[in-house]
């Protein structure tokens, strides 16, 4: 993990950044990941479905890809995010003939507007690295999970294979920010992305952090050679 002392993650900075790219966020995800982000989310969804949850919180839900997928399968799901325009996009994506849509909340992971032990599963897809005061957020997530509830996190990482890692880092640090700026017209969001991944604890280090903040039986699975990682943890 690389330190990044100047990486601002306060609520105003992060919400402002994601609000500014909300209208093109889905397009950028598909283009910059070559569509692989869809595959990664399907892996997460399949893992959650196998646990047969009654209630799900999709935290840092963004434009609602995960939230909507769970709702379409008939699950009781709530989405929460600090970026109001991202949630506006998520609401517009819900088609009326699908029935009742998910419940959405403008809320920070530091202070969730839910009672203790409200959810069977909490999911976070490519959002936890953006949390300010992350360990406090993890304890808050544990609070709203039911006993033996499950936290499932998808997050970017750096491939451990030397050659694959070298190719990926070149793309991630040199090509992706340029493409992101061209498409989104935002000069900061896609420079922030690689910096935030570099500064985030990865693999065993992140598992250990979760276990220090209310979770146990924490495991991870590398996806696409370590470009992203699926973390699974149970509430202590």
Domains of the chain: 11-235 (3.40.50.150)
Q: Nearest-CA neighbor of 69 among 84, 60, 58, 55? A: 58
Q: Is the pTM of this model over 0.95?
A: no
What per-residue confidence (pLDDT) applies to 4?
42
What per-residue confidence (pLDDT) applies to 200?
96
Positions of the chain with pLDDT lower than 50, given as ranges: 1-5
Q: Nearest-CA neighbor of 85 among 154, 153, 184, 191? A: 184
In contact, 113 and 78? CB cutoff 8 Å: no
Scored b (16 or more CB within 10 A) or e, 203-221 reads beebbeebeebbbeebebe
The distance of Cα 70 from the centroid of its chain, to the nearest Å, equals: 15
């Amino acid at each position: 993990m690389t330190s990044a002392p100047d990486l601002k993650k306060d609520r105003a900075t992060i919400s402002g950044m994601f609000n500014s790219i909300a209208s093109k966020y889905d397009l950028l995800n598909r283009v910059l990941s070559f569509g692989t982000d869809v595959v990664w989310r399907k892996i997460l969804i399949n893992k959650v479905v196998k646990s047969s949850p009654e209630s799900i919180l999709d935290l840092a839900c963004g434009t609602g890809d995960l939230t909507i997928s769970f709702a379409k399968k008939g699950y009781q799901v709530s989405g929460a995010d600090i970026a109001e325009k991202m949630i506006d996009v998520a609401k517009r994506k819900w088609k009326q003939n699908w029935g009742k849509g998910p419940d959405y909340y403008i809320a920070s992971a530091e202070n969730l507007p839910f009672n203790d032990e409200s959810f069977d599963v909490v999911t976070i897809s490519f959002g936890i690295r953006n949390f300010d005061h992350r360990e406090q957020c993890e304890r808050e997530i544990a609070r709203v999970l039911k006993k033996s509830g499950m936290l499932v996190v998808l997050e970017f990482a750096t491939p451990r294979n030397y050659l694959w890692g070298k190719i990926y880092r070149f793309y991630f640090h040199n090509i992706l920010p340029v493409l992101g700026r061209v498409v989104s017209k935002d000069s900061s969001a896609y420079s922030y992305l690689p910096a935030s991944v570099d500064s985030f604890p990865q693999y065993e280090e992140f598992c250990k952090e979760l276990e220090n903040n209310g979770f146990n039986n924490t495991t991870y699975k590398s996806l696409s050679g370590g470009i992203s990682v699926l973390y699974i943890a149970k509430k202590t």
